Amino acid sequence: MSIVKRFLAAAGLLLAVAAAPAHAALKVLACEPEWGALVQELGGPLVDVAVATTAMQDPHQIQAKPSLIARTRNADLVVCTGAELEVGWLPVLLQQSGNARVQAGQPGNFAAADYVRKLEIPTSVDRSQGDVHAAGNPHIQTDPRNIGTVAVALAARLQQVDAANAAQYAQRATAFQQKWQAAVARWTQQAAPLRGVPVVSQHKGYVYLYDWLGIKEVAVLEPKPGVEPSAAHLQEVLATLKATPARMVIYSAYQDSRPAEWLGKNAGIAVVKIPFTVGGTDGAKDLFGLFDDTVARLLAGASPK
């Protein structure tokens, strides 16, 4: 073989290698930032994650934009909270996408709330009660123990839908659980002074957080779930605190802070913003930062002034 022919053969081989498809990452659409972060922890370079919402958006109120429909159409796996949190927009995304892989009941459709114990399950539901979810309170991500439980189920689902890389998902899941369970023990110990502390919430969004830490909710600024605080209701809450004092009023990063600030000023209590999900504050850059920052902010709010 001549030198020229050898060169052309080698060049042809290089072109063939370059044209061969690289490993195709599993395309995942997460409804909320906490699940996007968890998929990234469990999948690493094996997954290509897009998140439908940000920490500065109310996850109840999202528009099914064409860009989200397009991402759903191409997704191998959709990971959401479930428990009706996304009932106003996720069904539209799934229907409009025409993607059979991610429809409800398929392996490509994962609802985190299916794998944890739900709190505040109502005995009856009607619109006069506000934005109440028949399946129970959906804000499960505020308890890190739930994150650990969901991680087990989600790792198994990743192995199911991407069987070729099952061993790598299993390895990453084991490493994540070791690190996560150690962090949960540390946060629980750090937050021990919060046990029994009375608080006011802007929205019924922290029931799992309170259940984990033993915090006592004495009032809520929203007169009904999803209904903005009215001046009359704020006055009622202020009157309640005279008989049942609270140490702080808590609101989420995505919420209007003015009702909490009004109550804090008039009741003389701390006003505490918590990230609520990954990206809600500068300190909540990932799942570990989310709870590092949440616990630190609650401890600061509960400290005597």
- Strands 109-111 and 77-80, sheet pairing: parallel
> What pLDDT band is residue 224 in, cutting at 50, 70 and 90?
confident
Q: Do domains 26-187 and 192-302 have the same CATH topology?
A: yes
Residue 246 has pLDDT above 60, yes or no: yes
3-state SS assignment for residue 91: helix
Which of 7-21, 22-36, 96-110 is predicted least confidently? 7-21
CATH number corresponding to 26-187: 3.40.50.1980
pTM of the model: 0.89
Q: Is 124 exposed, middle or buried (0-12, 13-18, 19+ CB in 10 A)?
A: exposed
Beta bridge partners of 199: 217, 248
Kindly tell me if the per-residue pLDDT of 1 is higher than 80: no
Which amino acid is present at 51?
V
Question: What is the rounded CA–CA span in Å between residue 230 and residue 272?
Answer: 20
Which band of pLDDT confidence, cut at 50, 70 and 90, is reported for residue 13? very low
Residue 132: per-residue pLDDT: 67
Which has the minimum average pLDDT: 12-16, 85-89, 175-179, 206-210? 12-16
Q: What percent of the chain has pLDDT over 70?
A: 90
What pLDDT was estimated at residue 196? 97
More confident residue, 27 or 12: 27
CATH architecture under which domain 192-302 falls: 3-Layer(aba) Sandwich (3.40)
Long-range contacts of 235-240 (CB under 8 A, 24+ apart): 237/200, 237/263, 238/263, 238/266, 238/267
φ, ψ dihedrals at 249, nearest 5°? -115, 135
Q: What is the pLDDT of residue 14?
A: 40
Q: Where are the domains of the chain?
A: 26-187, 192-302
Does the pLDDT at position 11 exceed 60?
no
Q: Phi and psi dihedrals of 160, rounded to 5? A: -70, -45
Res 7 pLDDT > 50: no
Among the listed ranges 113-122, 168-177, 178-187, which one has the minimum average pLDDT value? Answer: 113-122
SS3 labels along 158-214? HHHHCHHHHHHHHHHHHHHHHHHHHHHHHHHHHCHHHCCCEEEECCCCCHHHHHHHC
pLDDT in tens, 254-300: 999 999 999 999 999 999 999 999 999 999 999 999 999 999 999 99
- Least Cα distance to 272 among 264, 280, 262 occurs for 264
Is the pLDDT reported for residue 130 higher than 70?
A: no
How many C-beta atoms surround the C-beta of residue 240 within 10 A? Answer: 15
**SS3 of residue 285 by DSSP:** coil
